[in-house]
Amino acid sequence: MAFLCSIFNNAFIPEYSIACLLFLLPLNHRPRFPLRVAASVAAQYILSNAVLILIPRTNKFVPIVFLFSFLIGVGMFLFCADLSIHDAVFGATCSFAVQHMSYVVFSVLAVLCSGGPEGNPVGELLTFLCVAPFSYRLFAKKMPVSGRFQVSWGEAVCSAVIVLFFAYFLSMEAGNHFELDTAGNLVLYLICRTYAFLCCFFVLWAQTSMKEAVAARAQLRTQELLAQKQREQYELSRDNIDLINRKCHDLKHQVAALRSVQNEDQRNCYLGEIERSVMIYDSVVKTGNEVLDTILTERSLSCEKEGISWTCMADGEKLGFMDPVDLYTIFGNALDNAIECARGLTDTEKRVVSVNVFTKPSMVVLQVENYYEQAIQFSGGLPVTSKGDTDYHGFGMRSIRSTAEKYGGSVSIDTENHIFLLCVVIPIL
């Protein structure tokens, strides 16, 4: 009986569960997200109410109840979304802040309208349901970057301290120590409540503003990069035209020479040269993604100039969700490393770079393959470059891995039989 009374007389638990859901919606969800949310809410409801029975609200140890619910909220974020632990702590903190802001609004309205302290769980819940949509639109929807909060441990801990300690302490002081029997006590009560509200609001506003500023800078960088690539594309087109003109000039002489050749072997040699000459017309790559087309075309022309054989099979249509900067980071670094290594090979027949981009269920796979000669040293699972030697694929590998991990992907490397195989797997969002 006590358990049922606790359920119907406490609005904090359903409010906090809904607040967690607000911040979970914009994140990268784990499989069977609805079932995970339902199980988490049920666990929150049952366990928190069980603790309420053991530790009544009037007990001086009531903060344990809220701390326990907060920890369950952290587990809810980890269980339902693909997050780090500090991201989960931050998400639970933001949820607590929204719930507490709503509670402060209700308590102040209750005091001002009725002249007495709060005590109506139905009214408290209705107030929260009015505040929740605004909280989602102003804060929860804007905070994630690529489906994650991407906060540091310092940010997560600082936010938790501000919300859980200062805000809670001020609210509890207001509720426990001011009887509201005098105008002075009423003013102090309202000051404590207001300050608690501002603490919660500050945490949410500060993080939202920071994320918007980061997004604005990222957009500016993207625009600058695209402008730079447009200039490079112009120069590339000009170089391409010059190369084609030279090839056409060579073709004229080769065709003229071919007319007078009687020896079959010599004729086949000339035909092979002509075939290699016209391959320049196949240099422009079409994958279904303009950014990827530009990257692959640039590198294919570099291979042509360096005497490196180039093979490419790429399906770029599924990469539209990736930021152009991230595409350049992954593909540009991977191909530059492969070309750099192929350029230094003594065996010209092994100067080959192979590129494959294909899709599997819910993921896209990038594979770059090339030969190498000298032994490769690894550090932290990635190849490193020795001093004075640029053939070991050391440059840009950390950028490739960090960018792949940004989208929940992974990087693997295979070096069997002196063949360097880089494989990048990224989930399709």
Identify the pLDDT of residue 36: 92
Average pLDDT over residues 143-168: 81
Residue 126 or residue 221, greater confidence: 126
pLDDT at 293: 83
Q: What CA–CA distance (Å, rounded) separates 256 from 267?
A: 12
Contact 287, 315 (CB under 8 A): yes
Contact 307, 351 (CB under 8 A): yes
Each domain of the chain, given as residue ranges in start order, spans: 2-219, 283-429
* pLDDT tens string 92-111: 999 999 998 888 888 888 87
In the predicted structure, residue 69 carries a pLDDT above the cut 60: yes
Q: Is the pLDDT of residue 116 over 60?
A: no
Residue 353 has pLDDT above 90, yes or no: yes
Under the banding of pLDDT at 50, 70 and 90, the label for residue 176 is: low
pLDDT greater at residue 328 or residue 90: 90
Which range of 269-283, 322-336, 367-381 scores highest in mean pLDDT? It is 322-336
pLDDT above 70 (res 67):
yes
Q: Is the pLDDT of residue 165 over 60?
A: yes
**pTM exceeds 0.85, yes or no:** no
Task: Pick the more confident residue, 189 or 123.
Answer: 123
* pLDDT band with cut points at 50, 70 and 90 for residue 243: low
Mean residue pLDDT across the chain: 78
pLDDT of 143 > 80? The answer is: yes
Q: What does the block give as tokens for 131?
A: 């505040």
* pLDDT score at 167: 67
Label residue 382 exposed, middle or buried (CB < 10 Å: 0-12, 13-18, 19+): middle
Helix or strand or coil: residue 203?
A: helix
Pairwise pLDDT comparison (308 vs 226), residue with the higher score: 308
Q: Which residue has the higher pLDDT, 261 or 135?
A: 135
In this prediction, residue 415 carries a pLDDT of 86
Q: How confident is the model at residue 79, as a pLDDT?
A: 94
- Rounded to whole angstroms, the Cα distance separating 413 from 427 reads 18
Class of residue 82 by CB neighbours under 10 A (exposed 0-12, middle 13-18, buried 19+)? middle
Q: What is the third-level CATH fold of 283-429?
A: Heat Shock Protein 90 (3.30.565)
Residue 2 has pLDDT above 50, yes or no: no
Residue 57: the pLDDT is 55
CA gap 17, 24 in Å, rounded: 10
Predicted pLDDT of residue 172: 64
Find the range with the poorest average confidence among 61-65, 310-314, 332-336: 61-65
Report the pLDDT value the prediction gives residue 118, as an integer from 0 to 100: 53
Residues 6+ apart with CB under 8 A from 6: 49, 52, 53
Digit-coded pLDDT (tens) for 248-290? 667 666 666 666 666 767 767 766 666 666 555 555 667 888 8
Q: Binning pLDDT at 50, 70 and 90, where does residue 389 land?
A: very low
User: Span 114-135, mean pLDDT?
Assistant: 77
Instruction: Quote the tokens at residue 219.
Output: 């957009």
pLDDT of residue 76: 94
- State residue 4's pLDDT score: 36
Angle at which helices 397-406 and 333-343 cross, to 10°? 150
* Location of structure tokens 């770029």: 316
